[in-house]
Chain A
Amino acid sequence: MTETGTYLYAVTEETPSSDVEGLHGVADTQVRTIPCEGLVAYVSTVPLDQFGAEPLRRSMEDLDWLGETAGAHHHVVEEVADRAPVAPVRLVTVYRGDEQVKDLLRERHDDFVDVLSSVAGRREWGVKAYVDLSAPGPSRTAPSLGGPGTAYLKRRQAGLRSREEAWRQAAAHAEHLHATLSTVAVASHRHRAQDPELSGRKEAMLLNGAYLVERSRDDEFLKTVDDLRDRGVEIELTGPWAPYSFTDLEVRGDG
């Protein structure tokens, strides 16, 4: 008999229909609910030989395992988000048992209520903007007077200049995109831009933004995004998501 822990996915306010029959989470475990003081935690029982602190350190480096687990976690959060305003919890937040989850709901009750009321009726959209900085700028090297060494330095100088200029323009454009999108959103957050290895694209990522948008303003937000598509900047829209970027209560688990 292996030891088990309680894996926490998300928290909502108590709703009449918190039925999770047939909903499966990470490692194909059955999702269940823990109600406490008007809140409901969505959890499942997981084996600690996979989800204990030590095994997790190893499995987090296994990208296949991570992808599968993140997918299952996300699936549960999305299912729950369909029913009620949800505060998703970070991936692999594991507690020793149900009692510890109840303690969390009791201790952080007011924080959860605040966060849940701030995301009610709102969803998160992700906007990423990419620009191809490797596109050669206009070659401004005048035929130089000196020898090949001087010509080489002048060429490098022009290269540096145009790259700096391209970055400056790109950064200004990102500011503009973010500011414009933020006017339609209730809240916004700029994540760190991902490098090409992670984004899977060779262009540089200018903006990695998350926007919390009132459902009734979705159309307006999408139109704003469309209006911003131009001038060599490629915009990628994702969502709607559960409000992952706006519900971080630093819930850490103790498993």
Chain B
Amino acid sequence: MSEPVRTARMRIQADSEAMERDLSRLVLTLVELVRQLVERQAIRRMEQTDLTDEQIEVLGLTLMRLEEAMTEVCERFGLSPSELNLDLGPLGTLLPQE
């Protein structure tokens, strides 16, 4: 069986409306990536118990609000969370699959 051929789903279109949408998508993807990285780091530090209860609460609240904000912005751009996931070919996807 031959090597699978990928469809170009992240290809940037040259008309301005699509371009704007694709760029927003790219920016939101990067923001979401950073958010998830920080979240994982927070969880790791929580597990290592080098945070006070108060610090955990503040971190948790901040991350929770960021997530809510992301959801809101995505809705405004008409994007679903799965659309923020870049396909990196052999490396898999940028964000973990939900």
Contact = CB atoms under 8 A, between A and B. Distances in A.
Nearest to B54: A146
A147 B59 CA distance: 11
Given A157-B47, A198-B4, A152 B60 contact: yes
B56 A191 contact: no
Contact of A197 (B9, B43, B57, B59): B9
B67 to A, nearest CB: 8
A210 B90 contact: no
Nearest to A192: B90
Contacts of A156: 39, 43, 63
Main secondary structure of the interface of B (DSSP, over half): helix
A124 to B, nearest CB: 9
B49 interface: no
A45 interface: no
A70 B43 contact: no
Interface string B41-56: 0110011000001001
B98 interface: yes
Given A160-B40, A160-B43, A152 B2 contact: no
A70 B2 contact: yes
Interface residues of A, number: 33
A126 B7 contact: no
Nearest to A70: B2
B60 A148 contact: yes
Interface in A122-139: 126, 133-134
A66 interface: yes
B97 interface: yes
Contact of A146 (B40, B56, B87, B92): B56
Contacts of B40: 160
Contacts of B98: 134
A150 B7 CA distance: 41
A60 interface: yes
Interface of A: 60-61, 63, 66, 70, 90-91, 126, 133-134, 146-153, 156-157, 160, 163, 191-192, 194-195, 197-198, 204, 210, 241, 244-245
Please name the 8 residue pairs, one residue from A and one from B, whose CB atoms are nearest each other, closest first: A149-B60, A149-B61, A153-B60, A152-B64, A149-B57, A152-B60, A157-B43, A91-B2
Given A147-B61, A152-B63, 16 more contacts: A61-B5, A63-B5, A63-B7, A146-B56, A149-B58, A150-B56, A150-B57, A152-B61, A152-B64, A153-B46, A156-B43, A157-B43, A160-B43, A192-B90, A197-B9, A244-B1
11 contacts: A146-B60, A147-B60, A149-B56, A149-B58, A153-B42, A153-B56, A157-B46, A160-B40, A160-B43, A197-B7, A198-B4
